[in-house]
C-alpha cells in the first residue's frame, strides 16, 4: 500500500521549509516536494539585511542551507518532483507528480509567487547584480545611487517613494503616458523632488561586466533609444521591476477559493478545504517577505497537526 504522509508540503522556499521544520519536530511524517531548487526566490539574494538575527554577512543560499539542515534533522523527507494534478476532495489528499503519486492527510501549499519579468535582454543575468524585484530587500544597497523603477501601478509608485529614502534619484519608467496608481499615491510621487518620469518607455537591454553598468531605454511612440551608463564614481545603478506577480496556483484554481490568483487563507493558514493550508507568497497577504513566509509556514504546520489530531 502506498504510504500516506501526515503532511505533504508543496514548495521548498522559506515558507515550505519552516512548515517542514515545525511538522517534523512535531513527529509528523512529513514530505517536502520542490520542482526546482529548494530555496525559491530568496536563492537569488546575495545579501540579506532585514531578516531578524542576520547581523553578519548572510545570503539567501546560506540561510536556506541552514533551514534545509534543520528540517532534515527532524526527519523531513525532501523529493524533487513537479506536481501536475491534485485531488483534494477526500480525507486522504492525492498529489500526482511527474515521478510518483503522493498521498497525505494534510497539505501545505507553499508554492510561492514569482515577480513578472520584463523579458528584456540581460535581465536574468543581472538579477541580484543591479536588477531587483523587492525594494524593501535591496534599497539600502543603492544608497546614494541612481535607481530606475519599472511599472505604473500602486506597488511601483509606492516602492519608488520608498526608494527615495536611499537613492540619489529615482526615475519611474512606464509604458504609458500616465500612471495606473491611485491618485493620492501619484500626487505624492509627483511632489517628491527626487522622482522623475520616463513616459511611453521600456527597457530594451541591460549590460555590464559582472554588475549592471549600462541600460538602453526605448521610447515606444517615437522609437528613439536612450543609453544610460553608470558614472565611474558610481560604478553601477539599480533597476527595480514592479510589473506584477504571478502566483503559482494554476494547479488549485478548480479546487480552492482564489483572489486575484492567490489562495485565500485565514490567519490560521486554513483554505476553503479542510486539511489544506496555504503559506507564504502564494496566499493573499499584505507583505511578502522571508520573515512573513516563515511565520506562515510555522502556523500552517501547527494547524495541520491539530487537524490530523482531530481525525483520530
Condensed to tens digits (0 to 9), the pLDDT of residues 82-94 reads 999 999 999 999 9
**Residue 93 has which C-alpha cell?**
489528499
38 and 184: one domain? no
Half-sphere exposure at residue 231, Cβ-oriented, CA atoms within 13 angstroms: 6
pLDDT of residue 44: 61
130 and 60: one domain? no
111 and 249: one domain? yes
Per-residue confidence band for 199, with pLDDT thresholds at 50, 70 and 90 = very high
Mean pLDDT across the stretch 188-195?
96
pLDDT of residue 53: 82
Residue 273's CATH number? 3.50.50.60
Catalytic residue numbers? 134, 137-138
Beta bridge partners of 263: 258, 283
In the predicted structure, residue 143 carries a pLDDT above the cut 70 = yes
Mean pLDDT across the stretch 208-227?
97
Mean pLDDT across the stretch 113-125?
92
Pick from 242, 239, 262: nearest CA to 252: 262
Summarised one tens digit per residue, pLDDT across range 16-68 is 999 999 999 999 999 999 998 888 777 766 667 778 887 677 778 888 999 99
226 and 87: one domain? no
Domain boundary among 197, 218, 241: 241
pLDDT of residue 115: 84
- State the residue range of the domain holding 220: 124-241
Amino acid at each position: 500500500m502506498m504510504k500516506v504522509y501526515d503532511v505533504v508540503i508543496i514548495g521548498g522556499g522559506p515558507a515550505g521549509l519552516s512548515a517542514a521544520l515545525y511538522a517534523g519536530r512535531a513527529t509528523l511524517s512529513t514530505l517536502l516536494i520542490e520542482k526546482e531548487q529548494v530555496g525559491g526566490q530568496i536563492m537569488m539574494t546575495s545579501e540579506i539585511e532585514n531578516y531578524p538575527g542576520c547581523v553578519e554577512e548572510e545570503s539567501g543560499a546560506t540561510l536556506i542551507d541552514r533551514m534545509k539542515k534543520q528540517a532534515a534533522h527532524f526527519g523531513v523527507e525532501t523529493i524533487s518532483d513537479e506536481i501536475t494534478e491534485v485531488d483534494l476532495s477526500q480525507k486522504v489528499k492525492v498529489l500526482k507528480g511527474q515521478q510518483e503519486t503522493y498521498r497525505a492527510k494534510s497539505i501545505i501549499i507553499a508554492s510561492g509567487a514569482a515577480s513578472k519579468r520584463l523579458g528584456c535582454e540581460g535581465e536574468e543575468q543581472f538579477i541580484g547584480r543591479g536588477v531587483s524585484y523587492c525594494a524593501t530587500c535591496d534599497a539600502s544597497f543603492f544608497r546614494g545611487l541612481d535607481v530606475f523603477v519599472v511599472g505604473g501601478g500602486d506597488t511601483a509608485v509606492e516602492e519608488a517613494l520608498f526608494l527615495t529614502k536611499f537613492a540619489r534619484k529615482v526615475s519611474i519608467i512606464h509604458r504609458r503616458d500616465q500612471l495606473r496608481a491611485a491618485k493620492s499615491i501619484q500626487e505624492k510621487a509627483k511632489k517628491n523632488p527626487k522622482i522623475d518620469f520616463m513616459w511611453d518607455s521600456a527597457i530594451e537591454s541591460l549590460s555590464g561586466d559582472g554588475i549592471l553598468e549600462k541600460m538602453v531605454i526605448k521610447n515606444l511612440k517615437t522609437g528613439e533609444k536612450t543609453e544610460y551608463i553608470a558614472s565611474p564614481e558610481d560604478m553601477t545603478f539599480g533597476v527595480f521591476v514592479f510589473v506584477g506577480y504571478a502566483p503559482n496556483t494554476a494547479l488549485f484554481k478548480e479546487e480552492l477559493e482564489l483572489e486575484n490568483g492567490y489562495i485565500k487563507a485565514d490567519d490560521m493558514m486554513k483554505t476553503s478545504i479542510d486539511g489544506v493550508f496555504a503559506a507564504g507568497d502564494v496566499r493573499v497577504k499584505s507583505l511578502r517577505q522571508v520573515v512573513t513566509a516563515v511565520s506562515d509556514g510555522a502556523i500552517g504546520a501547527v494547524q495541520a497537526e491539530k487537524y490530523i489530531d482531530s481525525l483520530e
